[in-house]
Structure 1
Amino acid sequence: MTAELTGVVAVAVLVGWGCTEVGVPASWIFGFLIVVGGYSLLRDRTISPPSRLMQPAQVLIAMLCTTPLMELDGETVRSYLLPTTCSVLVMLVVSAVAGLVLARSGHTDPVSAMLSTLAGGASAMTLMARELHLDLRFVVLTQYLRLALVVLTLPLFVHLLGGSDAVSHGGADTWWEPAVRPVAGAAAVWALTWLFVRLTRRLFSVPAPYLLVPIAVTWGLSAAGVPQDWLAPHGLILTAAYGIIGVQAGGTLTISALRRMSHALPMILTAVTVMVLGTLGAALIIAGVTDISRLDAYLATVPGGIYAVLAFAHESGSAPVVTVGQVLRTLVMIVVGAYLPTLVRMLTGRRQMRDADDC
């Protein structure tokens, strides 16, 4: 089996290299997603990177997207407030509509249906479903199906909304560069992130710690005078991180999981489609009333796959509004998910009271 997986990785590297040559944004994520996703379906086997690889990869993507945030001034931040707030509100509404569609289908309970459509990180929502004793299988399938479809459609939307400018900025001659400084910088940020999470986990819980903490650490190190070329990962280390994120996005769905939930699959696909089309419509409106480009508006609003989205944003040369919008969306969705059972009980309780009064 090890030899088989080694062959899969080799094929993924070739596909990623080919995508880089033709200018596909975030080509290494896309290459690994396609190859590992196909293998996972054919072999009916979930492929998930171990946490010791996944967490450093998440830190690298967070570092990568912190660099443009360091250059923001007060006026630019203020200009981001309206579109970012609108994108988060739209995502909440779209998630709620998709959740109601699933809840009314009768395939699961209302809380599980709503949680399965919250775009606050598939792993975070899965963990929350386990802690709240919800329909874990339904939440896992819906969340990772959303993640896979969103990431798979990203190259298409990047091309359609960005036109000829939506090409990889990495270049075919730099993806393999074994640069020392970004490796040392990434190791320092990873060590500080790990230490912070380790020391504070018993005192309080940081949502999405391997996204938010490295952003704060990278920002702090930059403010302390650490050169940017130490804090902006590139070359071979970033290529490896992209590949790991691609494996995580592509290796989650299996034939068995789809077969077990076949009765609910049409409704789940409908709900995910509603989410994607809803955010696309919102992005076009935001781009029409602000100075933000259509591509940046979509990437800031897209429902899920935050690490892949941020990687695509970097490769496409997007503005910092994408990072601001995606981080805020993740935080809001995690908070809403934590209080979702209480909110659903309040709403269903009021409905039952109205029904009783009508009787």
Structure 2
Amino acid sequence: MSAPNPPLTSSGQALRWLALSLSAAVAGQALHAVEVPAGLFLGPMLVAIVFGVCGAGLRLHKNVFRFGQGCVGLLVAHTMTWSVLMSLATSWHIMLLATVLTVCLSALVGLGTVRFGGIPGHTAAWGTAPGAASAMVAMAEDYGADSRLVATMQYVRVVCVVMVGALVSHLLGATTGVSQAIANAAVASHGNLVLGIGVILAGVAAGAFLPAGALLVPLLLGAALQLAGLLTITLPSELLAFGYGAIGCYIGLRFDRETLRYVWRRLPSMIIGALVLIMLCAGLAGLLAALTGADFLSMYLATSPGGLDAMAIIAVETHSDAGLVLAMQTLRLFGVILTGAFLARQIIRLTAPAAPRQEERDRPV
């Protein structure tokens, strides 16, 4: 085992943060300039992965990540109108069906990962669950799973989902561009901007207690204030770019050298499992789009397995049905949280040897 790196001085750490910030900004702006969907998010994420794997030893504070989620939530709230809400209300049965099928597909992929990928059942059960990665890792630790493997499986899938989502959006010819909320920011009133930031900060506070609360609270509160005529949602492009970059860097920095070394032999199985789940969900999206008449890209983003905030970013930038995407992603998030323990037990029961099954059965819920 190699000796640990000496602790960084404050100036050395500041220089690394500066290098990360500049590199992430340049990468994000470069991808955005060539109209890569969610380029402002994707560029910083890829740069942060490189920094993490190269041993930079940086960790972004969770509240910065939550602030970024709040920016995305408020931006999506801008798309919420009474007509959008009525459309979502009439499609509740489709969203429920898609949620159930996506959860079942993830459980099926979890079984396959155990059978053919050599990953322990209790780890695969949580690692393939298509919910909020942080929530799945926390719940997995409570049930005795290997949190490093679970976290890596979750974030590998998020990276795969984002990369494939951006590619699919590009291949389908989706146009990218900033929201009208950004375009109007220059003429926005100071009061609206202050109130909007207050809504984002409320989400940051809620994120400590509610799964994905940093995104959902600004979404719900911002939409309510907008529908009531109390808030005109505006976000300066610089603020939104910072929010996108914060989410991307937080995810990317989770991939450090130690974790990569630990999971290296299992990494191919994780990537294959993530891609198989993405393809199954894409097939489900095609079927639902054909049945409902919705456009394929919106349905694809809505059924993509995980990465609620990332899918929201891509949906907004490609002018997809952001309301449908967020509604289905949120419904699945809570569905996974409520059924995660049950599905994990079933995967463990189906994959564990006969002797350990009683031990798993006796584990408290």
| Structure 2 residue 176 is matched with structure 1 residue 167 | yes
Q: CA deviation at 1:133?
A: 2.2
1:27–1:168 CA contact under 8 A, matched in 2: no
Aligned residues: 341
TM-score, normalised to structure 1, is 0.84
Change (3 A) 1:334 1:8: same
Q: 2:139 aligns with which of 113, 121, 128?
A: 128
Q: Which amino acid letter does the alignment assign opposite residue 301 of structure 2? A: L
Worse-matched range after superposition: 1-10 or 149-158: 1-10
1:63–1:218 CA contact under 8 A, matched in 2: yes
Worse-matched range after superposition: 115-124 or 333-342: 333-342
Q: Distance in 2 between matches of 1:338 and 1:67?
A: 35
| Structure 2 residue 320 is matched with structure 1 residue 306 | no
Q: What secondary structure is seen at the aligned counterpart in 2 of 1:333? A: helix
2:70–2:204 CA contact under 8 A, matched in 1: no
1:150-208 deviation per Cα after TM superposition (whole angstroms, max 9, x unaligned): 112222111123x1x3323359x96996964554123221344456677xx5xxxx332
1:207 alignment partner in structure 2: 211
Change (3 A) 1:324 1:197: closer
1:176–1:239 CA contact under 8 A, matched in 2: no
2:298–2:324 CA contact under 8 A, matched in 1: yes
Change (3 A) 1:334 1:75: same
Q: Distance in 1 between matches of 2:80 and 2:226?
A: 11
Q: Which amino acid letter does the alignment assign opposite residue 82 of structure 2? A: E
| Structure 2 residue 321 is matched with structure 1 residue 321 | no
Q: Distance in 2 between matches of 1:302 and 1:152?
A: 12
Q: What secondary structure is seen at the aligned counterpart in 1 of 2:80? A: helix
| Structure 2 residue 54 is matched with structure 1 residue 51 | no
| Structure 2 residue 161 is matched with structure 1 residue 143 | no
Q: Distance in 2 between matches of 1:35 and 1:266?
A: 21
Alignment of 1:135-284 (within 5 A): 135-161=146-172, 163=173, 165-169=174-178, 180-181=190-191, 183-193=193-203, 206-228=210-232, 231-284=233-286
Q: CA deviation at 1:338?
A: 4.0
1:299–1:322 CA contact under 8 A, matched in 2: yes
Change (3 A) 1:27 1:344: closer
Q: CA deviation at 1:108?
A: 4.2
Q: Distance in 1 between matches of 2:170 and 2:151?
A: 30
Q: What RMSD in Å do the two structures reach over aligned CA positions? A: 3.0
Task: For structure 2, list consecutive stretches of 5 or more residues without a partner in the other structure.
Answer: 1-11, 356-365
1:121-167 deviation per Cα after TM superposition (whole angstroms, max 9, x unaligned): 11111111122222212111111111111112222111123x1x332
Task: For structure 1, list consecutive stretches of 5 or more residues without a partner in the other structure.
Answer: 353-359
| Structure 2 residue 48 is matched with structure 1 residue 36 | yes
Q: Which amino acid letter does the alignment assign opposite residue 121 of structure 2? A: P
Q: Distance in 1 between matches of 2:282 and 2:40?
A: 24
Q: Distance in 1 between matches of 2:95 and 2:69?
A: 22
Percent identical pairs in the alignment equals 25
Q: Distance in 2 between matches of 1:227 and 1:186?
A: 8
Q: Distance in 1 between matches of 2:344 and 2:107?
A: 14
Q: What secondary structure is seen at the aligned counterpart in 2 of 1:262? A: helix
2:37–2:176 CA contact under 8 A, matched in 1: yes
Change (3 A) 1:178 1:52: farther
Q: What secondary structure is seen at the aligned counterpart in 2 of 1:233? A: coil
Q: CA deviation at 1:46?
A: 5.8
Q: What secondary structure is seen at the aligned counterpart in 1 of 2:320? A: coil
1:111–1:340 CA contact under 8 A, matched in 2: no
Change (3 A) 1:178 1:240: farther
Change (3 A) 1:79 1:153: same
